[in-house]
Chains A and B, each alone.
Chain A
C-alpha cells in the first residue's frame, strides 16, 4: 500500500511524497556515526507517485525530511499498514531524503481538492492541507479576500520577460481577510497542523540546487532574474532553526491557496476590460486574474499603488479591541401606550412608544466575552479589566471606533454630541433601521453587535400557517395498505400568524395601517414588514386543494424569496396531523409483535414498530435511525412478520458484512419467514430468480449486487424495500444509490445508526430514497438548506428542515429518558461476520492441509498441530493479511474488518469511544493503522512491547475528554489492571474462548467510574470454528462447560472426526 504525505514549502507550494509498504522497512545498517542525511528506505519513487497522483502538472525533485527514527530506520506513519517486527529503542529525529513531486499553488489547489478520488491512502498531513484548500475556496466564495500588490515572486511565475526601461516587476495577489470566526478557524487549522507537514528541512543544500532561493532584492530590482521555475522568496518568513513554525506555514499555504482559488473563479473575468491597458493600476488589475501574476510598472507608480492599497484596506480587519453596540428595547414600564392586542378591535391598535437605546462598549476582537460598557471607559478607564494590556488608551480607542462606525452608520453621529456618549437613543423606526440595516453592516465590518434575542427569531415575524384537511374520513390507523400516500389530495387554507397569535384579515389590515416596523404584541416585540403584510393579505384570500407531497413541500418553501411569508407550521387533521406534529411515535399505541415474531420487544421497540406500521399505512417511507445497540433489526423483523401472506416479498439491501447477520437474526426471531439470499456468483438469474423471489418473504441482497442487477431487481413488484446501513447511499450520485432509489416498492424504509440529520447531503440522499421528491431537487436543497445551515449556521432554516423531515425520521438515543430505563447496564451481543471468498478458500485449504497432518501424527506433535490449526483458522477469520503476513492491502478482504468499520463509524458519529481487543499483537497493529487511515483519527495501540510510562500516558490521554476515541489493545497487555471508563463500547475482534478473560477485559470499561451503558460486541465468523465454539460455550453442549471456556487446550483432546466437524466450513459462511 501507499500512504501519501504532504509538505508545504513556504514560498514554493506543495510537495508530496509517499511511504510504500512493499519496500523494505529497514535501512541498511552502517557502522559509525549516523550521517546527516540518508535515503529513506521505503519512500516511493517518482514514477509511483506520479501514477497515483494523476496528471496534475508537477515537478520532480527531492526533499530532506526530519523524521522520527528508531534503531536507524524511520518510523512508519500510523496510516502505513504492514506486518513489521516491533523494534525497541529510543525515538530520535534524523534526516531522510525522499523523492517528492512539487506543485505550484494553482496545481496544489487542484490536487488537494481532488484528494477524494486518489487511489492511495492520504496521510493526516495531506488531509489537513486539503482542509486548508477547502477553507480557501470558502473564503473566496464569501468574498473574504483582498487584492494586494506584492514584491514576492509567485512560485508559478516562470522565467520573466525582459523589463522595459525603468520599469520594475511586481506581482498581484489575492490575500485572505481573516476576521472573527474565520480568524479563529485559521488559528485552529494552524494549531492542529500535523508536525509532519513541516518536516522539510529549510536548510537543504542538495534540495536548494534544484530548488528556489531567489533573493528578494534581486527579484524586485534586477530585470530578468526572479528565481527559477520553482519557487522563490519567502523562505525567511517565520523560519526558525527547524523550518517554519505552524503559524508561518499555514499562513503561507492559506495565502497561496486563496490566491489560486480566486483565480479559478475569475478565469473568465477581465478586470481591466474597457480601460486603458497601460499604467500600474491596469497592469495590476490584469495580473489579478489568470495565471500570470507578474506585471511591470514605474517604481513611483508601484509605490503609490502599494501605499494607497494599504491605506484603503487598513480598516478592513479592525484592531484588537472593537467597539460594541448593544440594542436595548424599552423597559416594560416605559411602554405606556396601549399595546396592540390581537385579536382586537382594530381601533385600539396604537403605535407603541418608548425609547430604544444602543449601548456602546468595548470588547476584545478575539474574545468577545471581554466586554466593558462605555460608561466605565469614561469614568474609570484605568479599571477596564481584561482589556488592560490590549490597549493603552481606552477612551481614545472607543472614540476612534465610534468615529469609524459612524462612517458606516451615520445615525451614530447623533449620539456623539455629548462629551462622553454611552449610547444612542432611538425611536421605534430608528431601532428598526438599526436592526435591519445598521447592525448587519457594523457586524460584518467587525464591530461587536448584540441584538435582542427575539430579532430574527421566527416567532418575531409575520408567518403563515398552512392547515390541511384530509378528504378521506379521518382515519383509524391500520396496517393495511391503501393509505394516504404522497399523491392523495387534501383541502388547505392559510392562516397568518405573528408568533403564536393567529391574525385575521381585519387585524392584518389594521397592522398594515400602523406603518410601524416593530410592534409589541403580548409582551413580545415582533417585526411588521410591509411587503410581508401584503403577502399575508393575499394568502388569506387563497385556498384550495393540493397533494400531500405538495403540502409537505410547502412547509419547506419560502426561504428563497425575501418578501414571501415564511411557513411557520403545517398542520392537518387525522393521522396526517399526528405525523406532521412529529408526535406519531409517542402518540401511537405501542404494537405488540405479531404472532410470527418469536422474540420479545422492549417497550420502545414496540413503539418503533407502531411507527413503522403507521407510516406504511399512510404510504410514506421512513428512516429508522435509532442509536446503535437499540435493536433496529428486531423492529424491522417484527414489521416483516406482520405482513399478510399475500403482500409480496420485501427486499433488504445491506452491506455484504451484514447478510449473514440478517439471515441468522431472521431465523432466530422470525423462523416462519422464507428468506432468500440473492448474492454471490451463483445467484439465481432469469426465471429461476423470479421463482425464488416469489417463493420468499424476505430477499437479502447487497449494495453491489443491487447496482449490478438493477434491472432484474427493478422488475419485481416489491412490497417493501429496506436499506440497512443506509449511509451506504449517502452519496446520491453513486450507482448503488441510484439503483436502490429506482427500485419500485409500496413502502420504503431506510435503517441507519449514524445521525443523518447532521449531514445534510446524506440526509437528502437517504430521504430521496425513503420519500422521493420530498426535499426537492438536490441542487435547490443545497442552495436553500445545506449552505445556510452548514456554512452559516442558520438556526431558523435548520429548524424548518427539522420540522419537515422530523416526522419521517425516528431516532432515539440510548440516553433518552424513555429508553434508558429499558436498557441493561451492560449489553452483550454476538456479532456474526461473514468470510470473504478469499478468506473461505484460505480457510478450506488450511483445514484440508492440517487435518491430513494431524491424522498422521500423535502425542505432543498432534497437540501442537491442532493448536496451530486453531491459530491459523482464527487468523484467517480476522484477515487474510494476518495469516499471510505479506503486508498486502487490507480493505475489502475481511468480513470482520468491514463490520468493525461500520461499528466504529457509528461510535465516532455518536462522539463515543471504543476499546478493541485482539489476542494477536500483529493484528492489533494492522487494525491501528487501518482504522487511523480510514477515519483520519489517532488510534492508540497497547501491546506487550509498550513500556509502563508510555502505557500510562496512553491511558491518561484516552481518558481525557479530547483524547483519541479508539484504543486497540492486545488481550494480554491490556486485559487487566487498566481503567478505561471513557469507552462505552467494547469489541472483541477475536476470541480467547475464556469468558473470564474476556469479561476481565470488558471490565476495563465496565467498572466504577462508568456512567453510561456499555455495549459489548463479540465478533464471530459465521460457519467457522469460531461460531461452533461459541455455540458450544453458550449451549454447554457436548462437552463440560468447565472444560470448554477455559482456553483452547481442550480442543487438542478431540478425536480427528470431532476435529473435522469442528473445523469444517459450513455452507453459508461466505456471502460474496
Chain B
C-alpha cells in the first residue's frame, strides 16, 4: 500500500469536506509540540473508517477490556492514529505484543503489551479439549473464534480475555505519563483488527502459535485412537510451515472475482507455433456443460453481509437491487 496517507485533524467520519487543515497537513507545523504526529507512509492502518473498530465478537470483547478502563481523548486519539497508519509495525508473540508507533517525534515510539502466556500444562489441558471436538479447529480455520472456545478456557481456569488492565503490562517509550497512552491505544485497536482477520493471533498471544497449535491438535487427534501418530506425517507438516514463533496468517487466496483467477495458469502459446492453424481454434470448442439453475441472489446469500465499515447489511440490500435486476434479465 503505497498511497500517501493524508493525516486529517479530525477523523470523525463526517465526510469528505476536502479542506485541509490550517497547517496543511504537514508534519512539524505549529501544533507539533502538542502532539501532532508525523506523517507516515506505509503504516499499518485500521480498516474501519468510522465508528467502532473491531467487527467480530472476540475483537469487540478484547477492546471492551481496554475501553472499560481507559476513557476519554486518548482512546479517541489512539483510534485515529490506528486509522491514519501511525503504527509502523505490529508483532504478536507469545505473551507479548510489540509495536512501533510514529508519534510527533522523529524517533518512533516502542510499544510493548505483555500478558502472561498460559503455562504449558494449561495449554495441554485446553488442547485436549479442543482436539476432542473438530468443531473448534474447523471454526478457527474458517476464520471464526467460536464462543464455546471462551468457555473451554474459562473451565480450564484461564480466561481467554484479560479480566482487566492489571493483567496487562503496558509500556510505551513516549513521554506521556498516562497508561494507556494514545500509542498503546492505537496498538490495541490494530491488535483487535488482527484478531478479526485471524483469530489464531489471539491464541498466539496467549502462548500458542497457529502452526504449533495445529501440529499439537493433529498429534492429539492421531493419538486419540484414530491411528498411532505417524512421524512421516507430522514432520513434513511441521517443517513445511513457518517457524513456530512467527504466527503466519493463512495465505490470502487471489480475489474471487475476475476471470484471471481461473485462466491465469493456461499455457502461453506462442504465435509462431500456431502458424498452420492460425485462423481457427487450436482445439475444438466442446459442447457447453449445463449450469446449475440458481437464483441470481444466491451469491449474496452465500457471502452474507460485508463488514460494517463499508455499510454492512445496508450495502448488501443495495447490491441486492442489482442482483434482482440480473435475475429478471
Contact = CB atoms under 8 A, between A and B. Distances in A.
A399 B134 contact: yes
Q: Which of B49, B307, B326 has the most CB of A within 10 A?
A: B326
B326 A178 contact: no
A336 interface: no
Contacts of B139: 403, 406
Contacts of B135: 406, 413, 416-417
A168 B6 CA distance: 12
A417 B132 CA distance: 7
A317 B256 contact: yes
A1057 interface: no
A177 B322 contact: no
Contacts of A191: 266, 282-283
Nearest to B225: A419
B259 to A, nearest CB: 4
B12 to A, nearest CB: 13
Q: Which of B131, B232, B275, B278 has the most CB of A within 10 A?
A: B278
Given A123-B279, A278-B15, A403 B142 contact: yes
Contacts of B284: 192, 962
Given A167-B18, A402-B138, A242 B295 contact: no
Interface residues of B, number: 107
Contact of B141 (A396, A408, A793): A396
Given A199-B271, A245-B266, A272-B318, A125 B279 contact: yes
Contacts of B290: 181, 791-794
Contacts of B275: 68, 91-93
Interface stretch (A296-304, A651-659, A887-895): A296-304
A248 B138 contact: no
A558 interface: no
A198 B270 CA distance: 10
Contact of A300 (B45, B267, B311, B325): B45
A177 B261 CA distance: 9
Contacts of B298: 143, 441, 444
A855 to B, nearest CB: 49
Interface residues of A, number: 145
Contact of B134 (A140, A183, A192, A420): A420
The B interface is mostly helix, strand or loop, or mixed, namely loop
Contacts of A266: 322, 325
Interface in A707-758: none
Contact of A418 (B133, B227, B323): B133
Interface stretch (A379-387, A461-469, A562-570, A1028-1036): A379-387
Given A297-B16, A316-B257, A240 B303 contact: no
A314 B260 contact: no
B48 A304 contact: yes
A288 B274 CA distance: 39
B262 A378 contact: no
Given A164-B18, A247-B266, A314 B285 contact: no
Given A144-B299, A251-B258, A406-B142, A131 B263 contact: no
Contacts of B294: 142-143, 440, 444
A175 interface: yes
A187 B140 contact: no
Given A251-B263, A419-B133, A443-B292, A188 B286 contact: yes
Contact of A304 (B272, B310, B327): B310
A963 to B, nearest CB: 9
A418 B290 CA distance: 38
A271 B306 contact: no
Contacts of A196: 278-279
A271 B314 CA distance: 11
Contacts of A378: 221, 226
A237 B139 CA distance: 36
Contacts of B232: 382
B167 interface: no
A24 B266 CA distance: 39
A312 B278 contact: no
A372 to B, nearest CB: 15
A618 interface: no
Contacts of A873: none
Nearest to A795: B290
B288 interface: yes
A78 B280 contact: yes
Contact of B45 (A303, A308, A317, A395): A303
Given A142-B296, A186-B259, A418-B133, A285 B318 contact: yes
B271 A187 contact: no
Contacts of B327: 141, 143
A401 B294 CA distance: 22
A373 to B, nearest CB: 13
A93 B271 contact: yes
A148 B281 contact: no
The 7 closest A-B pairs by CB, nearest first: A793-B290, A143-B296, A403-B142, A245-B268, A247-B266, A165-B18, A403-B138
Given A195-B274, A247-B267, 17 more contacts: A123-B279, A146-B256, A192-B283, A194-B280, A195-B271, A269-B321, A279-B16, A300-B5, A300-B49, A316-B303, A403-B143, A408-B302, A418-B134, A419-B131, A419-B134, A444-B299, A962-B283
11 contacts: A125-B279, A147-B257, A165-B20, A183-B262, A193-B281, A196-B279, A241-B270, A265-B325, A308-B47, A316-B303, A317-B261
